[in-house]
Chain A
Amino acid sequence: SQQGEEDPQALSIQEGENATMNCSYKTSINNLQWYRQNSGRGLVHLILIRSNEREKHSGRLRVTLDTSKKSSSLLITASRAADTASYFCATDPAGDYKLSFGAGTTVTVRA
């Protein structure tokens, strides 16, 4: 079943601006992952944050995790046109090996 919910559903920004999207989930998790999907393509793994971590960085990406609020955020700094894609969070509920995906945030970066 779908556990994650992303907010906003869509985001349009100018190149160079930052993009922030949020993900909320319902049950306890082992970890939370963020993926990117370009239109009509498969998923690209961006970053995994474990339940005992609060923040993680990878290049221009910054992910936070607040297990008390059951939420995570993905920040893309200095966005580029190539960042245009849909972004999904996926949770790995504690005790369940299956990933549950959120509805996704569609990000459009205008040149």
Chain B
Amino acid sequence: GAVVSQHPSRVICKSGTSVKIECRSLDFQATTMFWYRQFPKKSLMLMATSNEGSKATYEQGVEKDKFLINHASLTLSTLTVTSAHPEDSSFYICSAETVSSYEQYFGPGTRLTVT
């Protein structure tokens, strides 16, 4: 149980285009989902927290107009990287928190490469 999926697993896009990454909790309802960014050989940096039906809360230094987050249902959150640039290339990981506990379950990650 407690499986989180991400789609796509890898994406290559051209500079200036937008990319949407989906995060789904497959067998549980997630009131809260988190989006992280990870640079090579580095730790995970929390980008934003999204709650179903409300606006996401962004961490300091993360541009909300650049990284659009939508938490449309208790099982789906999306992260859209708008007008992507090569410096947005990174590994993006989501996690979902269950309704009944504060344990986070992580998705497998999405490797974004902007050319």
Chain A interface size, as a band, is: 20 to 34
Query: Interface majority SS on B: helix, strand, loop or mixed?
Result: strand
Complex Cα distance A107/B29, Å? 34
Beta-carbon contact of A42 and B108 below 8 Å: yes
Total count of chain B residues near the partner, CB < 8 A? 24
**Known A40-B109, A45-B105: A101·B34 in contact at CB below 8 Å:** no
A binding-site residues for B, Cβ under 8 Å:
2, 30, 35, 40-45, 48, 88, 92, 97-104, 106
Known: A42-B109, A104-B42. 15 other contacts (CB 8 A): A35-B106, A40-B109, A42-B108, A43-B106, A45-B104, A45-B105, A48-B103, A88-B43, A88-B44, A92-B102, A98-B34, A99-B34, A100-B46, A101-B43, A103-B42
